[in-house]
Amino acid sequence: MRILVLGGTAFLSAEIARQALAAGHEVTCLARGSAAEPPEGTVWLKVDRSLAANAYGDAARGEWDAVVEVARNPVPASAALQALAHRTAHWTFVSSCSVYADASVPGTGEDSALLPALGLGTPSTPENYGGSKAAIELATFRAAAGKAHICRAGLIGGPGDGSDRYGYWPARFARDQTPVLVPDIDAHPTQVIDVRDLAAWILLAAEQGITGAFNALGDQVPFGKYIDSARQLAGHTGEVLPAAEPWLADQGVDYWAGPDSLPLWLPPGHEGFMARSNRAAVEAGLRLRPWQETLAATLADERGRGLRRPRKAGLTQETESRLVAALRGGA
């Protein structure tokens, strides 16, 4: 197959390109390459989609068996669809489960209501991420009717994760034997898909011409089980201190991601955010490795990148020490 990846330098898109090459496909990556270059063996169309007036000129002169789009901004995504949708047999858009309007109900599937699509002219920001992805979904279904695969991914983990969310916990347990502060949410679900499994599913969909919207999600794992496994794998024998959710919120700890956060801890009203159904995708061919494999690979990757490196998500050592002292002191 001749595959065009709109990206190919970052976490998921680079993994798609690597797996496609390994499968014997001809792979072209259209990317600016400011942070990294596409995998060796790909053809690189070096262009900044946000700046170039004719970003897709070279790509539009070819014919493609599959195009894979990972954008979050509707403007370049719509331009790509206009230039390329008629030149490919299959189009995958990697969307997100953040497009769903209601995150409170566990077990919901692809027929759940979506957020309103981001309006034309509205800047795409982290705060309207779900609406941005919904707008690209709508544009994709319109421009690539009959050949569009909408891949609604959940939290993606595994080696190379730049968000630092899934890897925070195994890295924290491996860092040292000091007390580890955890949210008291043992029964809450976590739902993470390995980047390698997600890439393989996207390629399978392209190879088999699978179309429609699918939740590409991992299986659900209780937070407490995940934490126990991460601790055992890392060899942590120190104390684990559960903290009540209201207390953590009062102390200014953030949910989910970002500085001074506790990853995988979700705010009220998000009981279904990591508990959606992946049944349709599994029945269509999505294959998931045991989550313990993802955890082990993530820890190995964290060790390689440095357990004490600055992180985009999680507590700093100083913040955690302060919170542990406050919890013990009854603050």
159-215 pLDDT tens trace: 999 999 999 999 999 999 999 999 999 999 999 999 999 999 999 999 999 999 999
**What does each C-alpha distance from 130 to 2, 127, 154, 226, 282 come to in angstroms?**
30, 8, 12, 27, 24
54: in domain? yes
DSSP assignment, residue 105?
Answer: S
What CATH number corresponds to the domain at position 300?
3.90.25
pLDDT number for residue 54: 84
Residue 213 located in a structural domain: no
Mean pLDDT of the 223-233 span? 98
Q: How far apart are CA 126 and CA 55, in angstroms?
A: 24
Same domain, 116 and 53: yes
In a domain, 196, yes or no: no
Whole-number pLDDT of residue 331: 58
Q: Report if residue 270 sits inside a domain.
A: yes
Considering the domain architecture, whether residues 146 and 176 belong to the same structural domain is answered as no
Flag whether 202 is in a domain: no
Pairing status of strand 220-222 against strand 189-194: antiparallel
DSSP tally for the chain: helices H, then strands E: 10, 14
Residue 116 has pLDDT above 70, yes or no: yes
Q: Do 134 and 261 have their domain in common?
A: no
**Does residue 52 sit in the same domain as residue 84?**
yes
Indicate whether 122 and 165 sit together in one domain. no
Domain end residue (candidates: 107, 135, 153): 153
> Does residue 170 form part of some domain?
yes
Q: What is the mean pLDDT of residues 318-330?
A: 93
Domain that holds residue 296: 160-190+221-274+290-328
Confidence class of residue 34 from pLDDT cuts 50, 70 and 90?
Answer: confident
CATH number at residue 59: 3.40.50.720
**Whole-number Å distance between alpha carbons of 47 and 33:** 8
Residues 146 and 41 in one domain: yes
Which of these, 155, 158, 186, lies nearest to 291 by C-alpha position? 158
My answer on whether 173 and 147 are in the same domain is no
Tell me the mean pLDDT in the region 232-257. Answer: 97
Q: What total of structural domains would you count in the chain?
A: 2
Residue after which a domain boundary falls, among 124, 153, 182: 153
Is the domain of 122 the same as that of 182? no
Does 137 lie in the same domain as 52? yes
CA end-to-end distance (rounded Å), the chain: 61
| Strand pairing category for 189-194 and 155-157 | parallel
Residue 40 above 70 pLDDT? yes
41-53 residue pLDDT tens? 999 999 998 876 6
Residue 282's pLDDT band, with cuts at 50, 70 and 90, is: very high
With pLDDT > 90 as the criterion, what percentage of the chain qualifies?
93
DSSP-derived pairing of the beta strands 189-194 and 91-96: unpaired
Q: Does 148 share its domain with 165?
A: no
* Residue 249: per-residue pLDDT: 96
Q: Which of 153, 175, 207 is the last residue of a domain?
A: 153
pLDDT at 50: 83
Burial class (CB in 10 A: 0-12, 13-18, 19+), 328: exposed
205 falls within a domain: no
Q: Does residue 146 sit in the same domain as residue 172? A: no
Question: Domain for residue 208, yes or no?
Answer: no
Mark whether 122 and 94 lie in a shared domain. yes
